[in-house]
Chains A and B, each alone.
Chain A
Amino acid sequence: MVWSAEVEETLQRIEANGSVMGVIVVNADGLPIRSSFESSKASKYADILRRLTAMARSTVRDVDPQDDLIVMRMSTKNQEVMVAQENSYHLILVQRLERSRV
């Protein structure tokens, strides 16, 4: 049994990291239950990323049904979005990266 306090602590530590822009926990129904963004932005992220993650998961499992998606990481120009899926819950993390121009 994992205590919710531990999970809460972990999420707080993540948010305390300077480069992290926000963390959203989305429940099975698609509603953000804990978010460090404002609620409209959070629901927008939640909605969009849930669909994308579902598609990514479908891709992974279509190739091999015994496999499953753990984390989907999307690196963009300005930031990095990481979505982890567990027990039909989604944990979304947005981190700002300083990319050196190559």
Chain B
Amino acid sequence: MSKDQHPAKSFKSNRKKEDEDPGKLIKPPDQLELTEAELKEELIRTLTAKNPHAPQNLAHYKFHEAAYKLTTAVNHLAVHFVLEGCLEHQDIDETRVTTPEELTEDATGEEGEDSADEEGSGDGDADGDGGEEEEAVEDDIPAEPKVTNQFNFIERASQTLNNPLQGRSIQTIPPPRRNYIANACQWDIYDVYMEELQKRENNKDNDINKKILIETPSDDITQVAKSAMLLERMVNQNTFNEVAQDFKYFEDAADEFREQEGTVLPLWKFQYNKARMMCVTAFCWNFVYPDFFGVGLGSYDFSKQGRGMLLFYTLKNSTYPEYIFPTGSGVMTLDIHKQHSYLVAVGFHDGCVCVYNLKNKGQDPQYKSTINNGMHTDPVWQVRWQNDKSLNFYSVSSDGRVVSWTLSKNELVFTDAIRLALDYTVSDGLEGIQDLTNASGTSFDFHPQIDDLFVVGTQEGKIHKCSKNYSSQYLKTYQAHNMAVDRVKWNPYHPKVFISCSSDWTVKLWDMDYSVPMFAFELNTPVGDVDWAPYSSTVFAGVTTDGLVHVFDLAINKYQAICQQPVVNKKKTRLTHIEFNPVNPVIIVGDDRGIVISLKLSPNLRKKPKGKKGRDLVEGPEAEVAKMEKLLSLLRELEP
């Protein structure tokens, strides 16, 4: 209290006064002032054992309810003071009490170990002293076994020797590398798949005989053979570009102003330098490839018979023939098979008949007739393939025989179809000896619809209608011309009409039932060849030796040609043959210089029959037949 008085001096004055009177109640200055009633109020205060500082609203997260819940049990234990003791009862078995004397008797190593043990127990320095005493007691009682410490857990750790790490590296030789760049497009993948497929198929077939592709030498230009041909054609197309355009698209506009007449427009000119001395003797268009045609070259001069040639051109390449076959004797006629367009039948001036196969490489025919094998003894003037499945063709020659040839595997087999006799009436004079002189056949043609019917033209100017079934008799004879009949041809539409031309300057149209021609045209010069148009039954064209091409359309003009045009120089060359292209409005004309000229027909020459007003235009073969029939009926009315 006296000590307090020193600091009391700094207190306020009222405090000092109260210290003088110790018995008196001291009111602190900030004491709550309460009323009498409030002072008498009884307040209940309970005394509990609860810890007032313990939290009352502890909340723990309960996992099985997944929520925070108030913990009801709260620990009310309040620890005020903790002191860890270091004294233990001497009777406790757990510890051994050792005296200090015993401690000194032990080896220092053991001590050191034990003391190390005791230090590890975590009791602090105070325990270490106790431990020493315990160890001394231990040595006094050597008989008792040592009991390991179960409860006072001692953790012992030791560190093994770590092997020193040593780094060692080796560098190997790097694997050989190659850079590879490639593009893979869709077609690359496709190619690989196709190759794989091919390999698998080959394995399946187990084809041992298949030859491995021989490695061609790298500088072989035969690799580009097809391309060379293609490019040659392209060059020609470029060079003759206008011609190609004309061929395809040109229609002569002037035809509208020319009432009935038409013109022919010259297109390509085909010539081969080795064929210059030869005369064009035969033509044939290929029905499978309408731009392809064959030309037979020879000579019409009987005294000057030399070599001949067979050439095949295509309209796509006018500068050079596609196929060239030089022949020993002049070619007189040729025919390309309509379905198997690689088979070509050729008749020669020496009477021989050959069949060439265009698929074969080489210059020789596949089949050749020999003297023993039915060869003609005179020039073969015409050959014609038959349209049946067995490959056979007919030939007619000046020796008066019409022979049928069949292709068997290795050779030609012949049969005489008909013998053209001059006169089939049995002569009265000589018994039993028939007239053996033969007429010379110069041309023949098979009927397009009736298979076994054909007409033959002879050198005497007669035309005979024959049938394959009757080998010794003519069905009908027509006194056609005064000179040799150069050409007979059936009308492609009308079954009864055929046309004939001759060196006696005339072209005559016949109806098969009548002995008199329906139409006869005088052309003032020997007519070399005549051909029907494939698109109309009333159009035909002829060529004469004065270099003119005559085109007739009977539906338009019955008396005159609607086109008469010189195509070659009149004085120098003579036209020998003409043929219509089966598809395009083109005709080819051959002359005696070995040159072939292609001409395009103007629209007036290709007119189709106009339908009457109000009626639909009739097209097709029936219309053509009807057209012709109409013309013929007019004529028949005139005849008595």
Contact = CB atoms under 8 A, between A and B. Distances in A.
A33 interface: yes
Interface residues of A, number: 41
A71 B230 contact: yes
A95 B219 CA distance: 24
Contacts of B361: 1
- Best-buried of B185, B228, B232, B320 by chain A (most CB within 10 Å): B228
| Size category, B interface | 20 to 34
B218 A14 contact: no
B525 interface: no
A86 B319 CA distance: 24
Nearest to B228: A10
Contacts of A20: 235
A4 interface: yes
Nearest to B191: A65
B227 A80 contact: no
B108 interface: no
Interface string B208-230: 00000000001111111111111
Contacts of A93: 231, 234-235
Contacts of B224: 7, 25, 84, 86-87, 89-91
B187 interface: yes
A73 B236 CA distance: 14
Contact of B320 (A4, A13, A62): A13
B222 A19 contact: no
A28 B230 contact: no
A1 B400 CA distance: 43
B228 A14 contact: yes
Contact of A27 (B190, B219, B226, B319): B219
A2 B225 contact: yes
Given A7-B221, A61-B185, A61-B186, A91 B320 contact: no
B232 A14 contact: yes
Interface string A42-74: 000000000000000010011001100011010
B228 A91 contact: yes
Given A7-B221, A61-B186, A73-B234, A91 B239 contact: no
B232 A10 contact: yes
Which 5 A-B pairs rank lowest in CB-CB distance, beginning with the nearest? Answer: A61-B187, A65-B190, A84-B227, A65-B187, A2-B225
Given A10-B229, A62-B185, A89-B227, 7 more contacts: A7-B224, A8-B221, A61-B190, A65-B187, A84-B227, A84-B230, A91-B228
Interface of A: 1-4, 6-8, 10-11, 13-14, 17, 19-20, 23, 25, 27-29, 33-34, 58, 61-62, 65-66, 70-71, 73, 80, 82, 84-87, 89-91, 93, 95, 97
